[in-house]
Amino acid sequence: MKQLLLLLFFLPLLASAQLREDFTDGNFTTNPAWAGDAPSFQVTAQQLQSNGPAVTGTGLQLSTPCQASTGTVWEFWANLKLATSSGNLADVWLMASQTDLKNSNNSGYFVRLGGTDDEVSLFRKDSTRAAVLVIDGLNGTLASITNNLVRVRVTRTTANRWTLERDLTGGRTFVTEAAQPIDATYQRSAAMGVSLVYSAANNRNFYFDDFAVTDATAPLLLRAVPLDSRQVNVAFNETVAPASATTLANYRLQSGAGPTAAQVLSNNPAVVRLTFATDFATGNAVEVRNMADLFGNVAAGPLTAAFAGPPVAPQVGDLVITEIFADETPQVSLPLSEYIEIYNRSATKVISLNGVRLGKGGTTTVAMLPDTARLLPGQYAIVCGSTRVLQFAGYGKVYGPTNFPSLSNGSDQLVLRARDGRTLFEVTYSDSWYRDARKKEGGWSLEMIDTNNYCAGAENWTVSTDPIGGTPARANSVRAVNPDAKAPALLRAVALNATTVRVYFSEKLDSTAAATLSRYALTPATAITRAAPVAPDFRQVDLTLATPLTASRPLTLAVQTATDCAGNASGPLQSATFALPEAAVSGDVVINELLFNPRVGAVRFVEIINRSNKFISLQGWQFLRGRVNGNATATQLTSGPLVLGPGQLLAFTPNVASVQAQYPTSHDPANLIEVGALPTFADVDTVRLLDGRDVKLDQLPYSKSLHLSLLATQEGVSLERIRASGPSTGSNFHSAAGTVGYATPGRPNSQAQDELGGNQELTVTPEIFTPDDDGQQDFATLNFHLDQAGYAASVTVYDALGRLTRRLVRNETLPTNGFVQWDGVDDRGRKAAVGYYILLVELFRPSGGEKREYKKTVVLGARF
* Collapsed DSSP state (helix, strand, coil) of residue 635: strand
Tell me if residue 774 falls in helix, strand or coil: coil
Predicted pLDDT at 752: 82
List Cβ neighbours of 583 (8 Å cut-off, separation of 6 or more): 616, 691
Of 709, 772, 719, 771, nearest to 742 (Cα)?
719
Of 316, 375, 329, which Cα lies nearest the Cα of 350?
375
pLDDT of residue 738: 75
Residue length, the chain? 864
Map out the domains of the chain with their CATH numbers. 4-215 (2.60.120.560), 221-309 (2.60.40.1220), 319-463 (2.60.40.1260), 490-578 (2.60.40.1220), 589-740 (2.60.40.1260), 762-860 (2.60.40.4070)
Contact 573, 559 (CB under 8 A): yes
366 CB neighbour count, 10 Å cutoff? 19
pLDDT, residue 571, reads: 87
pLDDT at 362: 79
> What is the model's pLDDT at position 8?
34
- Please choose, from the candidates 378, 255, 244, 239, the residue with its C-alpha nearest in 3D space to the C-alpha of residue 318: 378
Cα–Cα dist 327/672, whole Å: 27
What φ, ψ does residue 693 adopt, rounded to 5°? -105, 15
pLDDT of 145 reads: 94
The number of angstroms, rounded, from the C-alpha of 806 to the middle of its chain's C-alpha atoms is: 60
Instruction: Give which of 407, 353, 343 is closest to 378, Cα–Cα.
Output: 343
Nearest to 714 by CA among 694, 688, 742, 686: 742
pLDDT digits (tens, 9 = 90+) for 400-427: 999 999 999 989 999 999 999 999 999 9
Name residue 163's beta-bridge partners: 155
- φ/ψ region of 165 (left if φ > 0, alpha if ψ in -120 to 50, else beta) reads beta
**pLDDT the model gives residue 627:** 54
Q: What is the mean pLDDT of the chain?
A: 90
Burial class (CB in 10 A: 0-12, 13-18, 19+), 363: exposed
Q: What is the pLDDT of residue 680?
A: 86
CA distance 219 to 217: 7
Residue 783's DSSP bridge partners are 763, 819
| Gap between the Cα atoms of 241 and 218, Å rounded | 11
**Could you tell me if residue 312 is left (phi over 0), alpha (psi between -120 and 50 degrees) or otherwise beta?**
beta
Q: What stretches in the chain show pLDDT beneath 50? A: 1-16, 628-630, 757-759
pLDDT at 755: 62
How many Cα atoms sit within 13 Å of 858 on the Cβ side?
30
Compute the radius of gyration of the chain from its Cα atoms.
43
- Contact assessment for residue 336 and residue 328, using Cβ atoms and an 8 Å cutoff: yes
Using DSSP, state whether 365 is helix, strand or coil. Answer: coil
- pLDDT in the model for residue 12: 36
Coarse DSSP helix, strand, coil percentages of the chain, rounded to the nearest 5 percent: 10, 40, 50
Task: Output the CA torsion sign for 14, 20, 21, 25.
Answer: positive
Instruction: Count, in order, helices (H) and strands (E) of the chain.
Output: 5, 64
pLDDT at 819: 85
Please give the pLDDT value at position 76. Answer: 97
- Is 191 strand, coil or helix? strand
Element spanning 112, H or E: strand 108-114
pLDDT for residue 552: 94
The answer to whether the beta carbons of residues 60 and 204 sit under 8 Å apart is no
Question: CA 860, CA 824: separation in Å to the nearest integer?
Answer: 7
End-to-end CA distance of the chain: 114
- Per-residue model confidence (pLDDT) at position 847: 66
DSSP class of 254: T
